[in-house]
Structure formats: C-alpha cells, structure tokens
Amino acid sequence: MSDTAELVVRARDGDQSAFGLLYDRHARLVRAICYDATAHLASAEDLAQDVFLKAYQRLHQLRETDRFLPWLCEIARRAGHDWRRQPRREVELPDEWSGVEPAARREEPQIGELRETIRQLPEDERMALHLFYLEEQPVVVARELLGLSQSGFYKLLERARNHAGAILRRNQESIR
C-alpha cells in the first residue's frame, strides 16, 4: 500500500490528522485548480476548502485509495465548473478593494499578468505548470493525472512556458 493510500485509509477510519497530512501535500494544487475557475485568489482559497470538505465526506466512495490525487483534482475541477455556473448576486471586489491583503496586492503587476495568462492556457498545459511548481514529485503525479512519461511531461511543460510567453508578448503588442 502506498503512503498516500495508507493516509486515505486512516482518514476514512476517522483519523483527521491523516487527512491533515493529505491537505498539507495537495492543498496548493487544489487552490491553483480552483483559481483556474474563479480568477480570484480569495475565492479560490474558499473554494479549495470546500473541495477538501467534500472529499472528506466522500472518502468512502474512493475505491482505489492509490488514486486519491486524481480523484481530488476531479472534485476540484467540478467545483470550479459549478462555481462558474452559479449566478453571482454579490459583486466580487477586485483583490485590491476587498480589504484583504492578498499576495497579488504586493506583487509586481507582471506576476498577476502571468498568473492570468496561465489561466488562458489549455488545460493540459496549465496542469503541467501547476504540477511542476506545486507538487513534490511532479513527474510521478503527471503520470497519474496526465498519463505522461517523464520526457512527455517535460515537453508539455516547455510548451506551456513558451505558450505563456507568446500570450504575454501578444498582449503587450496589442496594448501598444
């Protein structure tokens, strides 16, 4: 039984600290997937919390405990999809007006631009970047989630970086 599978089994038996460890390992990736849907950091963080609570409630439905991360990512994707479909009664304030001090507020503008650019990439390219920068074993996870070999993953990663660069250049040229 893999280490992740062991934690899932323990969490399913009611061991919340085991679930806490799974949260530590994968919360950042889930937030990034949620941000792809919300384009708003605070909303993405709130949505990610909901994703983990849903995952905890539905742990008994996960038959292959080794497949926890792909299953979790699917929950996050569906949560993002549902979030986009919901009518918004409240106007979502931009981060800089919300009174919360998000990381984006202290960032260089180009960082926010790059983050937004990544959102516009095709899903597989986005995921390659998310996995590389947020997962401790991106190659292993890429095999699980994207079905890619090590070389395939790094090729996709390079394509994603180049594509992001091209979008940024195009946006800069259209401003001029």
Residue 128: alpha-carbon gap to chain centroid: 11
Minimal distance in Å, beta carbon 68 to another protein?
13
Q: For residues 17 and 151, which CB has a smaller minimum distance to another protein in the complex?
A: 17
Minimal distance in Å, beta carbon 175 to another protein?
10
Site residues (CB under 8 A) for another protein?
Answer: 3, 6-7, 10-21, 23-25, 27-29, 31-32, 35, 41, 44-45, 48-49, 52-53, 56-60, 102-104, 107-108, 110-111, 113-115, 118, 129-130, 133-134, 136, 161, 164-165, 168-169, 172
How many Cβ atoms are within 10 Å of 75's Cβ, its own excluded? 17
Residue whose pair of structure tokens reads 């299953």 in the numeric block: 71
Does residue 31 come out as left (phi exceeding 0), alpha (psi in the -120 to 50 range) or beta?
Answer: alpha
3-state secondary structure of 101: coil
Q: For residues 93 and 103, which CB has a smaller minimum distance to another protein in the complex?
A: 103
Q: For residues 40 and 148, which CB has a smaller minimum distance to another protein in the complex?
A: 40
Does residue 90 come out as left (phi exceeding 0), alpha (psi in the -120 to 50 range) or beta?
Answer: beta
Among 175, 46, 160, smallest CA distance to 114 is for: 160
Minimal distance in Å, beta carbon 128 to another protein?
12
Q: For residues 60 and 89, which CB has a smaller minimum distance to another protein in the complex?
A: 60
> Taken in order 111, 34, 36, 89, is the CA torsion positive or negative?
negative
Minimal distance in Å, beta carbon 19 to another protein?
7
